A and B are shown apart, each in its own frame.
Chain A
Amino acid sequence: MERSFSKEVREGSARLGTALLFSVVLLALFLADCRPAKAIPAFARKYGMPCSACHEAWPKLSPFGQAFKDNGYQLGNDRDAPIFQQPAYWPIALRITPNWHFETANHVIVDSGEGSTLANVKTQGFDYTGMDMLTAGTLARNFSFLLVPSSDETGAFHFESANLRFSNLLGSSWFNIKVGKFELDNLQSEKRILTLSANGGFYQNYHFQPWVAPGVPSGLYVSGIGDNQLGVEWLGHSKNDRTRVSAALLSPTDGNPDFQSGIGGAAGRTYDAFFTASQAFEAGSLGLQRFGGFAYIGHASTYPEYTQFNTGGGPIGGTGIGNEPYYRVGLLGMWYLKKLDVTTMWFYGHDSVYLGTNTPTNLGSTGLPDGAHAPSWNGALIETHYTFNPQMIFVNRYELIRMSQQALDSNPSDLGNIDALTFGFRYYPFINTRAGFAFHNEYSVVWQRKILVSPATGLPIDLTSNSLMFGLDFAF
């Protein structure tokens, strides 16, 4: 009787909550521009398990889901090979998010009758994101694949991921090799981020590059540890996935094909490396805690060795030279307090003085501007999730980036500093073993210091951007 009474109370509260949520959604429907991410209902269909088994709140992985991924998309019950599936099973899932969104940016340089001026630009309306087509699974026991043709919102396709994985080599979970294009083994996955808006749908720390000067962004390379990269990765983990280590050898192309660099120039004839290591431990009834570290050691070319004679002097892919180093390192903790989890991250970045000042090395040190330094910065992130139940999750994130060394003495000390705040919630009206759907609600604001130059005064000014988004995020 006591059990049925509390069940009635719970059901009544759930109905009220549901009614309120539907009211909010009815006020704020459809379409926008946001970044697709990974949730694969095809796995739910293959194994007959609800999405909530692998995802705390999809697309965020639970420890069970992370272990499934680390095992090469295998449950290890000798039924993973495709021969054990019904012939009609097709390992493909689609994800897209129609939404309504509202964007503002306070200091946008726009044309005016007398040249240019600053404007507070606001846009709003119905929109939709790009689409992911996720196909993944096993080709045979311990041979797995992931292929993700992905389109932007205009329908232009590229390959977000295309890799093969050889799992449990020599019968050991410590020996797994992945080759192709893949997401780096980030302890905090950006591809499974729970926020989707234009300002909140990525981690600032994963993509930040220091400004050369107000109004002058970094221009010799583009690289982000949140971007999928091309290369080969070794990953090892304990049987229960508590200990994880990985090392990757990567091409310096930011995941672009044909030896193109991240900015479309010639990638260098060199390689980058990425390392992670983490350890999880049980904390009684609080749950599983994890801490770890990562390091990305990169090289970016500063000029091409060869350019095309008969096509207007464009750089020949893969012939970039004048390589200069940069690195990103960090520590991360994932702390669980029953339904509340808190992710904390410290991040440090450093670029060479040539990269930091957009100076090709063939000009030598005399080509460097006066007062040039190798820029460096610190960043931090704290992200909280409150998983009320598998159908409701509240998200909050604050990131900051603080320059510790500017590229030029003449720069303001806070040039490029960022503060970003995002919060929202996702409600999943049903959890089943076939498909996924979430009402997505989010607000994000980003403050960037002194990155623009006022056309009126010539002085550095801040840029503040806001995103408000209500979306219908579905995957089948």
Chain B
Amino acid sequence: MIVAAFLLPAALYAQQAEAPAAKPNPHMESHIGNLTGHADAGAQLYYRYCWGCHGARGDGNGENAQYLNPMPRNFVAAIFKCRSTPTGTLPLDSDLYNTLGRGFNFTNMPSWITLTSQERANLVAFIKTFSPRWVTEKPGDPIQVPPEPKLTIESIKHGGELFQKLECWKCHGQEGRGDGPSASTLTDSNDQPIRPYNFTSTNRSKCGRTNSELYRIFMTGLDGTPMPSFADVVKPEDAWDLVHYLRTLQYNNPSPELTLWESTAEGRAIVAAKRVENTNTGSGVKP
């Protein structure tokens, strides 16, 4: 009984004490197809190429970070924009690998396609050593992207209706120029101002250039930004209609969607009204 008197408080204390916080694993691996990346090899690459922006601790506070907008990714928080996994979950290794190869336009993050496949895999493994999330969580299950249906005028028009109904225009603006009424109020996970994507500027979105990649963006959301996931409110076929409509907003970049849209009188008139002709600026920036 005396022993129990000593043991019981200890047992109660052990129950009540918090579990120690998970720590990052310095020996992470990455798996992309047949590639296996190793963190120790990735470390050498990171401290050659990446630390100036992403910081020696991977927290996005590199010596140059204060001058950059948007700020470099914080690998400690492990919140990533471009994923094939549902919002709030970790990306797949292949998502990070593809991001390295693609880079981010309109940021200081270049494409690292010149690195070898093994080097990029090694970098992915090392990036995963900065956050304990990679120890305590598994990446989400990748969303399924159904085959793209046939492009039709009805699809484009329905996509336009969805653009209104889902209130995409509040951030992206009625013409997709990123100048919606809410645009100036938006901040990212670093509490930094962030502008919505301007569809008229380029046909290259943050997470790629293809229709599938555009589809994936609004089904997974861009974590760390105000762009949510619409997976719970948009049916897959409707999502494809929205993709087709969004391509018609990119009137400076030829696409099958834009061509089909401009083959109608209505589409032709709408696009013509957006264009600013005879500027002769030669600046390379298309108005």
Contacts and interface: CB of A to CB of B under 8 A. Distances in A.
Asked whether A and B interact, the reply is yes
Interface of A: 2-3, 47-50, 52-53, 63-64, 66-67, 75-79, 81, 83, 140-142, 239-241, 282, 284-285, 287-288, 389-390, 432-433
Interface of B: 26, 41, 44, 47-49, 51-53, 62-64, 67-68, 103-119, 201-202, 204, 282-285
A140 B283 contact: yes
Contact of B110 (A2, A75, A282, A285): A75
Contacts of A50: 48-49, 51-52
Contacts of A67: 114
A61 to B, nearest CB: 11
B68 A48 contact: yes
A47 B111 CA distance: 13
A-B residue pairs, 10 tightest by C-beta: A48-B64, A75-B110, A141-B284, A3-B26, A50-B52, A282-B116, A78-B105, A67-B114, A63-B114, A240-B113
Contacts, number: 89
Contact of B63 (A79, A81, A288, A433): A433
Nearest to B39: A3
Given A83-B283, A240-B114, A241-B114, A433 B105 contact: no
B116 A79 contact: no
A78 B202 contact: yes
Contacts of A53: 48-49, 52
Contacts of B108: 47-49, 77, 79
10 contacts: A52-B48, A53-B49, A53-B52, A76-B110, A77-B105, A77-B107, A77-B110, A79-B108, A81-B284, A241-B114
Contacts of B282: 140
A284 B107 CA distance: 30
Given A64-B114, A64-B115, A78-B202, A49 B53 contact: yes
B110 A288 contact: no
Contacts of B110: 47, 64, 75-77
A76 B116 CA distance: 19
B106 A79 contact: yes
Nearest to B113: A240
Contacts of A77: 103-111
A240 B120 CA distance: 13
Contacts of A49: 49, 52-53, 64, 108
Contacts of A66: 114
B116 A287 contact: yes
Nearest to A67: B114
Contacts of A287: 116, 119
Given A3-B26, A48-B68, A49-B49, 5 more contacts: A47-B108, A75-B111, A77-B104, A77-B108, A240-B114
B284 A284 contact: no
Contacts of B64: 48-49, 433
A1 B283 CA distance: 55
Given A67-B114, A78-B202, A48 B103 contact: no
A81 B105 CA distance: 13
Nearest to B64: A48
A432 B108 CA distance: 16
Contact of A285 (B41, B114, B202, B285): B41
Contacts of B111: 75-77
Given A3-B26, A48-B68, A53-B49, A282 B117 contact: yes
A288 B52 contact: no
A64 B100 CA distance: 13
Contacts of A63: 114-115
A46 B1 CA distance: 74
Most A CB atoms within 10 A — which of B44, B103, B111? B111
A53 B106 CA distance: 19
B26 A284 contact: no
Contacts of B112: 64
Nearest to B26: A3
A50 B64 CA distance: 9
A47 B53 CA distance: 10
B107 A79 contact: yes
A2 B114 contact: no
A139 to B, nearest CB: 10
A161 B116 CA distance: 32
B137 to A, nearest CB: 21
B83 to A, nearest CB: 20
B52 A433 contact: yes
A75 B53 CA distance: 15
Contacts of B201: 78
B82 to A, nearest CB: 14
A53 B50 CA distance: 8
Contacts of A75: 103, 110-111
A332 B116 CA distance: 21
A140 B286 CA distance: 13
A389 B115 contact: no
Contacts of A52: 48-49
Contacts of B117: 282
B148 to A, nearest CB: 24
A287 B68 CA distance: 31
B38 to A, nearest CB: 9
Contacts of B204: 78
Nearest to B109: A77
A9 B103 CA distance: 35
Nearest to A50: B52
A78 B115 contact: no
A282 B63 CA distance: 32
A389 B43 CA distance: 11
A126 B118 CA distance: 46
A282 B118 contact: yes
A288 B283 CA distance: 37
A265 B49 CA distance: 48
